[in-house]
Chains A and B, each alone.
Chain A
Amino acid sequence: MIPVHFSLITGALLFAIGAFGVLARRNAIIIFMCIELMLNGVNLTLVGFSSHLNMVDGSIFVLFVMAVAAAEAAVGLAIIIALYRRKQSVDVSDFNMLRG
């Protein structure tokens, strides 16, 4: 039996690494991949609790997170392509059109 703390610590580390990537990187595609990393950390925590509590509800939440992640991937990458058409760049510091 795997202790629940293993999944909590691994999920926390994955989430923190993803958060660091979102804050520190400027390539929009890598920021996108770091968001997927954070979602994986949360999923791992949910699966750990699901197996610890012997309830299947956590696994159902993981399914929904995956569905939302798939929709987010399609729309997010479409947004990156649209931004690239406008500025010929995916560096997020180039997108300052709203600055006065």
Chain B
Amino acid sequence: MILQILYLLFAAGAVIGGLNVVARRNPVNSAISLLFTFICVAALYILHGAPLLAMIQIIVYAGAILILVVFTIMLLALRAPGQGLGRFWTFPQKIAGLCAALVLAAEMLFLSARATFGTVAGGGMNLAELSSPAALGRVLFDKYLLPFEVASILLLVGIVGAVVLTRRPKGTAAAVDAPDAEETKGGGQ
């Protein structure tokens, strides 16, 4: 019972953080709300009996991906914070997005509220065995060995792609990239 109450609290935190990500004007505020959501989701993983995944969630999402996002926001040093969801009802694109998201949410909530799920016979491990890293590793390196190796190649390609995409064209100085270099220098780098 106490676990379910905790689950509902963290789920509410995750959803509120997600709404805050969408509604904020400033990308830095959105990033901090996203951090809150990630930590709440990690707590939900622990309540589901997957503590290893919770740790990986903190390390990968909150530690790596979010740092990349904040780093990009600060690297670009955006002047105008954009318009957020302000003047919401004057943009048909936003109203259409809201309608599509509401339809999507209604469909998924309807289906998940109606569905009944049985249990798999014979697939069973008990909870302590399920949540141990050893069980995860045994299945990962045995049944899913090929996807694991493909994932490593994907990460390598991702690294090379990121370096190639952000490389400056040959022979251009930094001033070409930032025509308003004086202005940003005045802003204190």
Interface set of A (CB-CB < 8 Å, partner B): 1-10, 12-27, 29-30, 32-34, 36-37, 40, 43-44, 47-57, 59-60, 62-64, 66-75, 77-82, 84-85, 88, 90-91
Contact = CB atoms under 8 A, between A and B. Distances in A.
A13 B101 CA distance: 10
B30 A5 contact: no
27 contacts: A10-B11, A12-B105, A14-B14, A16-B105, A18-B18, A24-B85, A24-B101, A25-B22, A25-B84, A27-B82, A30-B22, A33-B34, A33-B69, A36-B34, A47-B45, A48-B48, A55-B123, A55-B124, A57-B139, A59-B50, A59-B136, A60-B140, A64-B144, A73-B69, A78-B161, A79-B165, A88-B180
Given A6-B7, A80-B72, A54 B119 contact: yes
Interface residues of B, number: 89
B100 to A, nearest CB: 6
| A-B pairs with lowest CB-CB distance, top 8 | A23-B97, A71-B158, A20-B101, A16-B105, A12-B108, A8-B112, A24-B97, A78-B165
Nearest to A24: B97
A45 to B, nearest CB: 9
B151 A67 contact: yes
A64 B45 contact: no
Interface of B: 3-4, 7-8, 11, 14-15, 18-19, 21-22, 24, 27, 30-31, 34, 37-38, 41, 44-45, 47-50, 52-53, 56-57, 60-61, 64-65, 68-69, 72-73, 75-76, 78, 82-85, 93-94, 96-98, 100-102, 104-105, 108-109, 112-113, 115, 117, 119-120, 123-127, 130, 135-136, 139-140, 143-144, 147, 151, 154-155, 157-159, 161-163, 165-166, 177, 179-180
